[in-house]
Amino acid sequence: MPFFYMNRWVELLLGLVIVVAMVIIGWASAAYSWTIFGKDLNFLHAAWIFLKGAIFWLIVSIGILLILLGISDLKE
For the CA atoms of 55, 58, 60, 62, the dihedral, rounded to the nearest 10 degrees, stands at -140
3-state secondary structure of 4: coil
What is the pTM for the complete model shown? 0.62
Q: According to the model, what pLDDT value does residue 73 have?
A: 84
Q: Where are the domains of the chain?
A: 8-75
List the chain pLDDT tens, one digit each, 76 residues: 566 667 778 888 888 999 999 889 888 888 888 778 877 888 888 889 999 999 999 999 999 999 988 888 887 6
